[in-house]
Chain A
């Protein structure tokens, strides 16, 4: 079979869904293909920070300016995906307080509304902060839920006619007479391959861009994958985003998001974006960095660790990149007609989740210009679905809903307060056998017990909703346990090790899932 589309978007991360939304709003017929689940790669593996721009004001002013504008826009466009935590930049005892002056100057230049507050006021707002901090600045940082964001844009695109194909991997690009004409796709669930003809291809595959371009015979594109690890802690150790007041470095951001807080990150050049091992040294470093921001950090429970890979880009002519932190965080559109003599193909390189809307606009603008169309961008004005009521996500919102239905509905995930009807609706909508997809959609199994209790229940419910047979359901459970373990074992200590051992007793001892017929 052959599918046809006008615009083929490769990659279902923040950039790709933004591009699909932008192009669909302009009236193009769009198909987005993603090899895994939406926001399963880089976008779902960051710290959850909606940048105010403060991080970049001294070192990377252009990136800072973009963040200032896009932060304000996203707050208007997708408030349901954002928690308005605010942010603080604090000089720890190890930092030079004089950097604060450069910081403030940079904020003024970038148009970033930053305000110095007293140390006492900072400690009043965040009592767990290191009492030895020397200066503090308040900025409009926020936390943003990457999965909710991705689905919000994707659903918006779908409502405007876009096709969203998750678990579809591009295995080849078709090039004919110096132009791309389509791609060969593999449906990862069905195990089948088919071709899609496309009028234009927008490569939004981020750190995987080089792999995609290789399929069109383009070799020397300077994608520099930079690995960063993050650790989610069991509690909101802070309610405000905390940044170290210094040039961007490792372990200098602590983001409260939903029920947890996430510390990040490192930045290590990583040749293979699919091979991102977490080492004990990195974990130790993050925990020590956490201690510097919040004393007693090591006594808190670490829930999960993961590594993400930044899609940093540097033109091959600029030579070898040694420190990926020195690569600009802004983005650039790569025009393969001009660069490589291949028409109908553009690549988005670099960038960050905060500027996803702008990145999408720039990429689609470039396509519109090449095609000679007259279709202006509309993403500054139109809100994607789910954000109609205009209020920010608030930490207590699930609890409030839950309390209204306390006696009427089963609570399936106690940690994240997920009721049965929400779970069943999501299973029907996602129509998946992969419990990790449900995890990303609802945060199922992301709390302290890491699925210890809810995953057996979710398996029983999935078996019913998706009419699975026993072995299929068992396979879903085993797959979830194996995936979960990857993010758990490097940080198992303290009470989280205790929790993991209880989970071993439940899944291996009591249920004996290891010996289930699958």
Chain B
């Protein structure tokens, strides 16, 4: 069995971050992943803390108080400085802007204003804190963005917005998804048609909003070309999955990860671990076979209930699917899991893996389950990320911190030197 310094399980934002930092730090890294992770479904923005529960304007100022009120939150495990450090590290590797100092307000596809800390360049001009005059462009054959609804809701929020719907099917069919538009926009010919169709329609709009389809392989070029030819700043609005900007982020980080020398295996499902206080090897299902892979360190970043990292069975027992770690915060069978009001804080929301300050998983009595396993991302207990708008921040900060803890461990540090 080949031995790796660290095995990262999962290829979402937390896994990518942990693996990339580890590989850049000189560790021999293997990533085992069932699939590509939730970045393909995400907005691609790094929302650190949007609501607590009132809208947060300045995350760095709000975080210490938030952590004090939420002592079991993943942010309480890593601390504010690690979040800030992780963001700087991230911005060094992708074309994103923004910081912990102030949240931007980005329009969602229904025209709500969502607080977001760090955003891809293609969304930076969508910050609507100061209002603005927008033209919102949609496509009749793209069923996942409705410019009129978007503009109507924004007007209610004090933003002047006008909707423009274009025909311009990218394919010879009535139903094209975001990827079809993104691929079409990679080409100059389709961009020419788009610019032509918008001629004379933008009026006094200061900025132009598009659904997040502005280029698949050539996104920077698409943005630059449209801004130059439309004579105005342009921005993308994230909409229903598949998320083109999420896929772009995933590809950027995966490319960096491979360049840094990490091995990445997809369709590898970790189904168990062997060992005592330390995990010695992982049982990995690859198709119909089962393999063993040995590791000094394991970073578990398989995601939460949305990604299959955690499961609840029909007898109301929660389990962690890769290593069988104890799940914390899941109400016992018979106890209320959810409230009847959809937008309530449901007791089940915060269920996940509890960890100590070094991200080691804990059992019900607060003891470490394994010495050499760290947990990062949505698998962690203690947050309601879709309500707090904290999911990407948690994944980035805990993935980054997990890598730092492994790199700082004596054996790995020695091997690197």
Does B296 reach chain A (CB closer than 8 Å)?
Answer: no
Assess the B340–A486 pair: CB atoms within 8 A.
yes
Assess the B334–A280 pair: CB atoms within 8 A.
yes
Instruction: Kindly supply a per-residue 1/0 record for chain A positions 451-472, scoring 1 wherever the CB is within 8 Å of any chain B CB and 0 otherwise.
Output: 0010011011101100001110
Q: Write the nearest CB–CB distance from A278 to chain B, whole angstroms.
A: 10
Q: Whole-angstrom distance between the alpha carbons of A461 and B51 in the complex?
A: 30
Assess the A498–B386 pair: CB atoms within 8 A.
no
Which chain B residues numbered 303 to 334 have a C-beta less than 8 Å away from chain A? 304-308, 311-316, 333-334
Assess the A470–B174 pair: CB atoms within 8 A.
no
Assess the A410–B172 pair: CB atoms within 8 A.
no
Partner of B41, one of A411, A456, A505: A505
Assess the A470–B305 pair: CB atoms within 8 A.
no
Does A247 reach chain B (CB closer than 8 Å)?
Answer: no
Does B229 reach chain A (CB closer than 8 Å)?
Answer: no
Partner of B112, one of A485, A489, A498, A513: A513
- Residues on B with beta carbons closer than 8 Å to the beta carbon of A93: none
Does A395 reach chain B (CB closer than 8 Å)?
Answer: no
- Residues on A with beta carbons closer than 8 Å to the beta carbon of B156: 469-471, 517
Given A494-B312, A498-B306, A502-B41, verify A516-B143 contact (CB < 8 Å).
no
Does B385 reach chain A (CB closer than 8 Å)?
Answer: yes
Which chain A residues numbered 486 to 518 have a C-beta less than 8 Å away from chain B? 486, 489-490, 492-494, 497-498, 501-502, 504-506, 508-517
Q: Whole-angstrom distance between the alpha carbons of A508 and B389 in the complex?
A: 9
Q: Whole-angstrom distance between the alpha carbons of A420 and B173 in the complex?
A: 14
Given A505-B41, A513-B112, verify A460-B146 contact (CB < 8 Å).
yes
Assess the A470–B240 pair: CB atoms within 8 A.
no
Q: Write the nearest CB–CB distance from B239 to chain A, whole angstroms.
A: 8
Q: Whole-angstrom distance between the alpha carbons of A477 and B173 in the complex?
A: 28
Assess the B110–A412 pair: CB atoms within 8 A.
no
- Residues on A with beta carbons closer than 8 Å to the beta carbon of B154: 470
User: How many residues does chain A have at the interface if contact means C-beta atoms less than 8 Å apart?
Assistant: 54
Q: Whole-angstrom distance between the alpha carbons of A481 and B343 in the complex?
A: 9
Does B341 reach chain A (CB closer than 8 Å)?
Answer: yes
Assess the A410–B174 pair: CB atoms within 8 A.
yes
Assess the A494–B313 pair: CB atoms within 8 A.
yes
Partner of B386, one of A453, A457, A504: A504
- Residues on B with beta carbons closer than 8 Å to the beta carbon of A477: 110
Assess the B149–A492 pair: CB atoms within 8 A.
no
Q: Write the nearest CB–CB distance from A494 to chain B, whole angstroms.
A: 6
Assess the A492–B337 pair: CB atoms within 8 A.
yes
Q: Write the nearest CB–CB distance from B330 to chain A, whole angstroms.
A: 11
Given A457-B143, A492-B337, verify A505-B386 contact (CB < 8 Å).
yes
Q: Which residue of A lies closest to B152 (CB)?
A: A470
Assess the B110–A517 pair: CB atoms within 8 A.
no
Assess the A412–B149 pair: CB atoms within 8 A.
no
Partner of B391, one of A494, A498, A509: A509
Q: Write the nearest CB–CB distance from A316 to chain B, whole angstroms.
A: 34
Instruction: Kindly supply a per-residue 1/0 record for chain B positions 119-146, scoring 1 wherever the CB is within 8 Å of any chain A CB and 0 otherwise.
Output: 0000000000000000000000101111
Does B170 reach chain A (CB closer than 8 Å)?
Answer: no
Q: Write the nearest CB–CB distance from B396 to chain A, whole angstroms.
A: 15
Instruction: Kindly supply a per-residue 1/0 record for chain A positions 178-204, scoring 1 wherever the CB is within 8 Å of any chain B CB and 0 otherwise.
Output: 000000000000000000000000000
Which chain B residues numbered 1 to 59 have a C-beta less than 8 Å away from chain A? 38, 41-43, 51, 55
Which chain B residues numbered 103 to 117 have a C-beta less than 8 Å away from chain A? 108-114
Does A1 reach chain B (CB closer than 8 Å)?
Answer: no
Instruction: Kindly supply a per-residue 1/0 record for chain A positions 340-374, scoring 1 wherever the CB is within 8 Å of any chain B CB and 0 otherwise.
Output: 00000000000000000000000000000000000
Given A505-B41, A509-B385, verify A298-B143 contact (CB < 8 Å).
no
Q: Whole-angstrom distance between the alpha carbons of A517 and B110 in the complex?
A: 10
- Residues on A with beta carbons closer than 8 Å to the beta carbon of B339: 489
Partner of A501, one of B110, B114, B240, B304: B304
Q: Whole-angstrom distance between the alpha carbons of A492 and B342 in the complex?
A: 13
Instruction: Kindly supply a per-residue 1/0 record for chain B positions 155-181, scoring 1 wherever the CB is within 8 Å of any chain A CB and 0 otherwise.
Output: 111000000000000001111000000
Q: Whole-angstrom distance between the alpha carbons of A376 and B167 in the complex?
A: 57
Does B285 reach chain A (CB closer than 8 Å)?
Answer: no
Given A474-B153, A482-B342, verify A516-B172 contact (CB < 8 Å).
no
Q: Which residue of B lies closest to A297 (CB)?
A: B314
Does A318 reach chain B (CB closer than 8 Å)?
Answer: no
Assess the A511–B386 pair: CB atoms within 8 A.
no
Q: Write the nearest CB–CB distance from A91 to chain B, whole angstroms.
A: 26
Assess the A410–B110 pair: CB atoms within 8 A.
no
Given A463-B148, A485-B342, A512-B112, verify A505-B306 contact (CB < 8 Å).
yes
Q: Whole-angstrom distance between the alpha carbons of A412 and B338 in the complex?
A: 29
Does B238 reach chain A (CB closer than 8 Å)?
Answer: yes
Does A67 reach chain B (CB closer than 8 Å)?
Answer: no
Q: Write the nearest CB–CB distance from A276 to chain B, whole angstroms.
A: 12
Assess the A456–B389 pair: CB atoms within 8 A.
no
Q: Whole-angstrom distance between the alpha carbons of A511 and B316 in the complex?
A: 30
Assess the A512–B108 pair: CB atoms within 8 A.
yes
Q: Whole-angstrom distance between the alpha carbons of A509 and B340 in the complex?
A: 20
Does B387 reach chain A (CB closer than 8 Å)?
Answer: yes
Q: Whole-angstrom distance between the alpha carbons of A280 and B313 in the complex?
A: 14
Partner of B308, one of A456, A471, A498, A509: A498
Assess the B111–A516 pair: CB atoms within 8 A.
yes
Q: Write the nearest CB–CB distance from B384 to chain A, whole angstroms.
A: 9
- Residues on B with beta carbons closer than 8 Å to the beta carbon of A410: 141, 143, 174-175
Q: Whole-angstrom distance between the alpha carbons of A481 and B315 in the complex?
A: 26
- Residues on A with beta carbons closer than 8 Å to the beta carbon of B111: 470, 474, 516
Q: Whole-angstrom distance between the alpha carbons of A477 and B110 in the complex?
A: 10
Q: Whole-angstrom distance between the alpha carbons of A262 and B25 in the complex?
A: 55
Does A425 reach chain B (CB closer than 8 Å)?
Answer: no
Q: Write the nearest CB–CB distance from A319 to chain B, whole angstroms.
A: 35
Q: Whole-angstrom distance between the alpha carbons of A490 and B157 in the complex?
A: 35
Q: Which residue of A lies closest to B336 (CB)?
A: A280
Assess the A510–B387 pair: CB atoms within 8 A.
no
Taking each of B42, B114, B174, which has the highest tally of chain A beta carbons within 10 Å of its own beta carbon? B174
- Residues on A with beta carbons closer than 8 Å to the beta carbon of B308: 498
Q: Whole-angstrom distance between the alpha carbons of A457 and B145 in the complex?
A: 8
Assess the B153–A498 pair: CB atoms within 8 A.
no
Q: Write the nearest CB–CB distance from A14 to chain B, whole angstroms.
A: 28
Q: Which residue of A lies closest to B340 (CB)?
A: A486
- Residues on A with beta carbons closer than 8 Å to the beta carbon of B261: none
Assess the A463–B152 pair: CB atoms within 8 A.
yes
Assess the A470–B175 pair: CB atoms within 8 A.
no
Assess the A481–B342 pair: CB atoms within 8 A.
yes
- Residues on A with beta carbons closer than 8 Å to the beta carbon of B110: 456, 459, 474, 477, 511-513, 516
- Residues on A with beta carbons closer than 8 Å to the beta carbon of B404: none
Q: Whole-angstrom distance between the alpha carbons of A512 and B307 in the complex?
A: 20
- Residues on B with beta carbons closer than 8 Å to the beta carbon of A517: 112, 153, 156-157
Assess the B153–A516 pair: CB atoms within 8 A.
yes
Does A287 reach chain B (CB closer than 8 Å)?
Answer: yes
Q: Which residue of B lies closest to A409 (CB)?
A: B174
Assess the B112–A461 pair: CB atoms within 8 A.
no
Q: Whole-angstrom distance between the alpha carbons of A461 and B138 in the complex?
A: 13
Q: Write the nearest CB–CB distance from A436 to chain B, whole angstroms.
A: 14
- Residues on B with beta carbons closer than 8 Å to the beta carbon of A515: 51, 55, 112-114
Assess the B149–A457 pair: CB atoms within 8 A.
no
By Cβ-Cβ distance, the 3 closest A-B pairs, closest first, are A460-B146, A470-B152, A470-B153
For this complex, 9 residue pairs linking A to B, each with C-beta atoms less than 8 Å apart, are A280-B316, A409-B175, A411-B143, A412-B143, A463-B149, A502-B306, A505-B38, A505-B386, A510-B43
Q: A280-B334, A512-B113 are known contacts; what are 6 more A-B pairs with Cβ within 8 Å?
A: A287-B314, A408-B173, A469-B156, A485-B340, A492-B337, A513-B112
